């Protein structure tokens, strides 16, 4: 059984009369507790049990709404219309060129200046979760077409399921993900070097110095990106002199649920497995965290103090014809699901 409760988390500042109450929803099973707010469908807390049976909050974030309203690195947020980077913020659809905000110069990142992470969504409480919906107007952040979007979180025992759906009035690129930052030792722990990570991918996308894929689909064999067997992150990064990961791993293409990644923290016994219907997963090791933000309970979040496993379409796919198509056409439905399974051993 999943218990679902709601409360007011805070109020958005009135800008041009567009304030509003931000609600927080608590999803609780016998082994997992998740808190999600209606601003950006942000996961603000996620408590799972270690082998000692005790719950710890394993995602980075803030105690109060102000933290999420101010600039932050997308902690826990739903990302859209297009997750990750679009080269030079430009793309052409049906012969027309579109220009987006260059909010991560020289590229557009995570939907632009005011992406899906920074808007209020309309909540609907379900038996075992919560569904959020919104209408993204035609031209919002430079994207074509009016886009209806739904993000649904359900909790089933130790498994958190996130489903994304969208329908558009015009052809538009769409790639939705969640940007939770995890530390299985508990948020506020200093680093993730003792985590063991594996990713079920035979290839990955090399990037240029602005983190845009070069277009090459490279084999992981005999490289630092071969994570098909678990590696201890600190040791692995040291061995290959890696400043960290911020790369898309290419998954087997299939609409069905399939296993794609696992993170394990031996000291606590916590394990997270990721399953998805998406063609890619971005593995990011918090390289841009710098300890400047005050997080939950006064925690600071230095470099490499968390990791993200963002299921997604491949970055810049709208400009790379040989990548899986990112385009959603009128009459079609974008529908992807990601499952996060939490266990302790």
Give the burial class of 216: count Cβ atoms within 10 A of its Cβ; 0-12 exposed, 13-18 middle, 19 or more buried: exposed
Tens-place pLDDT, residues 224-263: 999 999 999 999 999 999 999 999 999 998 888 999 999 9
Specify which residues 256 forms β-bridges with: none
What pLDDT does residue 275 have? 98
Residue pLDDT, tens place only, 285-309: 999 999 999 999 999 999 999 999 9
pLDDT one-digit tens code per residue, 67-104:
999 999 999 999 999 999 999 999 999 999 999 999 99
Three-state secondary structure of the chain: CCEEEEEEEEEECCCCCCCEEEEEEEEECCCEEEEEECECCCEEEEEEECCCCCEEECECCCCCHHHHHCCCCCCCCEECCECCEEHHHEEEECCEEEECCCCECCEEECCCCCCHHHCECEEEECCCEEEEEEEECCCHHHCCCCEEEEEEEEEECCEEEEEEEEEECCCEECECEECCCECCCCCCCCCCCCCEEEECCCEECCECCCCCECCCCEECCCCCCCCCCCEEHHHHHHHCCCCCCEEEEECCCCCCCEEEEEEEECCCCEEEEEEECCCEEEEECCCCCCCCCECHHHCECCCCCCEEEEEECCCCHHHCCCCCCCEECCCCCEEEEEEEEEEEC
Distance CA 46, CA 178 (A): 13
Residues 193-222 have a mean pLDDT of 98
Question: Which one from 47, 264, 310, 336 is the annotated catalytic residue?
Answer: 310
Kindly tell me if the per-residue pLDDT of 335 is higher than 60: yes
pLDDT for 291: 96
Res 16: pLDDT: 60
Chain mean pLDDT for the chain? 97
Residue 226's pLDDT is 98
Annotated catalytic residue within 72, 110, 179, 236? 179
Between CA 258 and CA 86, with CA 109 as vertex, the angle to 5 degrees is 80
The whole-number pLDDT of residue 14 equals 77
Residue 26 has pLDDT above 60, yes or no: yes
Active site residue 72: no
Confidence at 13, pLDDT banded by 50, 70, 90: confident
* 8 A C-beta contact, residue 144 and residue 101: no
Q: By C-alpha distance, which of 123, 113, 105 is closest to 143?
A: 113
How many CA atoms are closer than 13 Å to the CA of 275, on its beta-carbon side? Answer: 13
CB 334 within 8 A of CB 174: yes
Separation between Cα atoms, residue 133 and residue 119, nearest integer Å: 11
**pLDDT at residue 164 is higher than 70:** yes
Q: What is the pLDDT of residue 18?
A: 62
336 in catalytic set: no
Please give the pLDDT value at position 253: 85
């Amino acid at each position: 059984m999943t218990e679902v409760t709601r409360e007011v988390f805070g109020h958005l500042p009135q800008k041009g009369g567009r304030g509003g109450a931000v609600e927080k929803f608590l999803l609780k099973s016998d082994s997992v507790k998740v808190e999600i707010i209606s601003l950006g469908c942000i996961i603000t807390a996620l408590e799972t049990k270690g082998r000692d049976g005790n719950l710890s909050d394993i995602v980075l974030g803030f105690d109060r709404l102000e933290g999420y309203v101010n600039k932050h690195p997308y902690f826990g947020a739903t990302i859209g219309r297009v997750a990750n980077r679009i080269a030079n913020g430009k793309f052409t659809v049906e012969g027309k060129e579109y220009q987006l905000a260059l909010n991560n110069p020289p590229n557009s990142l995570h939907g632009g200046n005011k992406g899906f992470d920074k808007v209020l969504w309309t909540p609907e409480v379900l038996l075992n979760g919560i569904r959020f919906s919104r209408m993204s107007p035609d031209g919002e952040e430079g994207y074509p077409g009016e886009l209806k979007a739904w993000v649904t979180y359900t909790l089933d025992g130790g498994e958190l399921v996130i489903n994304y759906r969208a329908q558009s009035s015009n052809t538009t690129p769409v790639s939705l993900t969640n940007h939770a930052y995890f530390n299985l030792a508990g948020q506020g722990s200093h680093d993730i070097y003792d985590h063991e990570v594996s990713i079920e991918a035979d290839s990955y996308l090399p990037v240029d110095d602005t983190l845009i894929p070069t277009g090459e689909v490279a084999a992981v064999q005999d490289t630092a990106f071969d994570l098909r067997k678990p590696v201890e992150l600190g040791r692995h990064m040291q061995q290959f002199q890696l400043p960290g990961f911020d790369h898309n791993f290419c998954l087997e293409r299939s609409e069905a649920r399939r296993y794609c990644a696992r993170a394990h923290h031996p000291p606590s016994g916590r394990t997270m497995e990721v399953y998805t219907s998406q063609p890619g997963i971005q593995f990011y090791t918090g390289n841009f965290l710098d300890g400047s933000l005050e997080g939950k309970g006064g925690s600071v979040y230095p470099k490499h103090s968390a990791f993200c496993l963002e299921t997604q379409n491949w970055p810049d796919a709208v400009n790379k014809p040989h990548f899986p198509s990112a385009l959603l056409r009128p009459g079609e439905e974008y529908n992807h699901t990601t499952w996060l399974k939490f266990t302790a051993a």
